[in-house]
Amino acid sequence: MPRLDWRLAVKTIAGFALGLAVWLLLTPLYDRFLARAAEMTIRTFERPPVTRLKVAEDHYVTVDRTDFDPRSKRPAIPLRDLTFNFLLLTALFAISRRPFSDRNMLGFLIASAILTLTHVFGAVAEVMSIYVSKLGIWSTVHYGPFARNFWGVANHFYRLVLMYAIAFSLWWIFRSDGSEPAPKGRKKARK
């Protein structure tokens, strides 16, 4: 358990601020990666593969399909609404007793990699929730009640609480306790 004093507050705020800076800086690049990864995932399960996710302005990604009427409007999804739990992860890893220890940094990197996979899931759920329920008669014709409920709940659950629960759980699993052995050099110096 981290020490619960003013240092905890300072470390939390510093971790959050650092995470916010990194997130704001990398979001345009990360959105492209995420759109591509989600598109590949969706197309893997499509017969024939028709989905195209195109990065638009203002952190939105346009959902396009080659079988859509070219005259119809394309829906768009805000990818950054699905990825800001990264800030929670950085703030939580910052409250470790030794935030820059090797073990804590390694834990943070592994947790971040897994978080990226969950972002792909979040983006897929967002696109699928549009397909199953937000395209009027097209949705009704192509998807049944099970798919509508499954993807609708998956998307809502992810956005409302799951994205935070994932960040919290990854920290819980990969956090360091600050009790790792001291570096060898220090031990020798004592002799």
Partner 1 sequence: MHRPQVLFLVKFFVILVVAYLLIAWNPVNDHVIVPFTAGITRMSAAVLNLMGEGVTVSGTVLSSPRFAVNINNGCNGVEAMLILLASIVAFPASARARAAGLLLGAVAVQLLNAVRIVTLFLLGAHYPHLFDTFHTAVWQIVIILSAIVFFLIWSARVATPRLATRG
Tokens coding 150: 């499954």
- Chain residues that interact with partner 1, rule: CB under 8 A: 1-2, 4, 8, 12, 16, 20, 23-24, 78, 80-81, 84-85, 87-88, 91-92, 95-96, 153, 156-157, 159-162, 164-165, 168-169, 171-173, 175-179
Q: How far apart are CA 143 and CA 138, in angstroms?
A: 8
Tokens coding 96: 């470790």
Q: How far apart are CA 178 and CA 175, in angstroms?
A: 9
Sign of CA dihedral 170, 173, 174, 178: positive
Closest CB to partner 1 among residues 86, 131: 86
| Least Cβ distance, residue 33 to partner 1 (angstroms) | 19
Q: How far apart are CA 185 and CA 174, in angstroms?
A: 26
| Least Cβ distance, residue 163 to partner 1 (angstroms) | 9
Closest CB to partner 1 among residues 88, 123: 88
Q: What is the distance in angstroms between the CA of the first residue and the CA of the last residue of the chain? A: 31
| Least Cβ distance, residue 31 to partner 1 (angstroms) | 13
Closest CB to partner 1 among residues 26, 173: 173
